[in-house]
Amino acid sequence: MRLAELPQRKLEKQLRAPGGLTLVTGPFTTRLRSPILSVASGLAELYRDFPIVPDAQYADFHIEVRAPQTVRRWFRPQVLFLFEGKSVFKPLAYHQAFPMLEWGLNWCVTSQVNHHLLFHAAVVARDGAAVVLPAPPGSGKSTLCAALAASGWRLLSDELAIVDVETTELRGLSRPVSLKNESIPVIRSFAPEAFVSEPCHDTLKGTVAHLRPSQHSVECAMAPVRPAWVVFPRFRPGAGTELTPRRRGSAFMELARHAFNYTTLGRIAFERTADLIERSACYDFTYSRLDEAVATFNALEPPCA
């Protein structure tokens, strides 16, 4: 059953119910409760094509987004993110409930999942071959990911590369792409047909909005893809588009720096990171124009097997 099949009022009611709503995002299920209307409307807009599981008996994560049970419910109202009944972040302003849900869902994966190797990287794919885009905040990673996703590439994630430790294949969440500040009008101009949510202002990350993933990306979320390219992007205003080969040893070290659980997994992390790099063509990529960036990625040839 898709979330879009649930009428809005029934969605709001289910989110308030003790059992909540069980949402499937790739390999993970999340049981979510929230009485906040902006959470319900955000889910309806951005997760409409995602599977939900009525009367689910199991979920990987149990979360709740609600107001504190204090005077801050009414005076300068705030919102909390609870994981298994415990608040894990500082409260945010009430109007930031949906961005807090998105950040909390990322936290659930990065803090609780150790049966996959996790990197801070965007991942998109075409024809079963994935490009991994590791980069620190401010590098233009999510903007580039959004542009590729809006140009026909399959979206796996704008934040998390999830590597199967048995096969080195990549798995996807296909969740909405987080856009910040200047990226929001840039993507709206680049892909006017894509759905971008209304911006949420004055967050810790500035102004935030989300690009809805394509139905195709959501429907393919459970299908793993093989790594083919590792590209380290960097947005530089006014720069030309430049794709430069990177030595595999350097690429390995830089990719490992972006791992969330490298130390926890130890030898397995080393071996899977090495496998991923060995199977991929590695590049540095500088850009300022999205149309040129997308054309460059469309022209990529996968490495020989």
HEC sequence for the chain: CEHHHCCHHHHHHHHHCCCCEEEEECCEEEEEECCCHHHHHHHHHHCCCCEECCCCCCCCEEEEEECCCCHHHCCCCEEEEEECCEECCCCEEHHHHHHHHHHHHHHHHHHHCCCEEEEEEEEEEECCEEEEEECCCCCCHHHHHHHHHCCCCEEEECCEEEEECCCCCEECCCCCEEEECCHHHHHHHHCCCCCECCCEEEECCEEEEEECCCHHHHHCCCCCEEEEEEEEEEECCCCCCEEEECCHHHHHHHHHHCECCHHHHCHHHHHHHHHHHHCCEEEEEEECCHHHHHHHHHCCCCCCC
The pLDDT of residue 225 is: 97
Report phi then psi at 3, rounded to 5: -60, -35
Q: Give burial (CB, 10 Å; 0-12/13-18/19+) of 271.
A: middle
Copy the structure tokens of residue 108. Answer: 């659930």
Tokens for 289, please give them.
Answer: 């124009």
pLDDT at 179: 97
Cβ burial, residue 95 (10 Å; 0-12/13-18/19+): middle
Only one residue has tokens 């009022």, namely 9
The whole-number mean pLDDT for each consecutive block of 10 residues of the chain, a chain of 305 residues, reads 96 96 97 98 98 91 93 83 96 97 98 97 96 94 97 97 98 97 97 97 95 97 96 96 98 98 97 98 97 97 75
Contacts of 169 (CB under 8 A, 6+ apart): 163, 224, 225, 226, 227
Expressed in angstroms, the distance from the first to the final Cα of the chain is 38
Burial of 196 (0-12, 13-18, 19+ CB in 10 A): buried
| Residue 300 in tokens | 């990529």
Specify the pLDDT at position 246. Answer: 98
Q: Please give the backbone phi and psi of residue 133, each rounded to the nearest 5 degrees, phi first.
A: -120, 80
CA dihedral sign, ordered 246, 249, 255, 257: negative
Single out the residue of 257, 282, 250 nearest to residue 132, CA to CA.
Answer: 282
Give the per-residue pLDDT at 57. Answer: 86
CB-neighbour burial class of residue 228 (10 A; exposed 0-12, middle 13-18, buried 19+): buried
Note the pTM of the prediction, 2 decimals.
0.95
pLDDT of residue 111: 97
As beta bridge partners, residue 16 has none
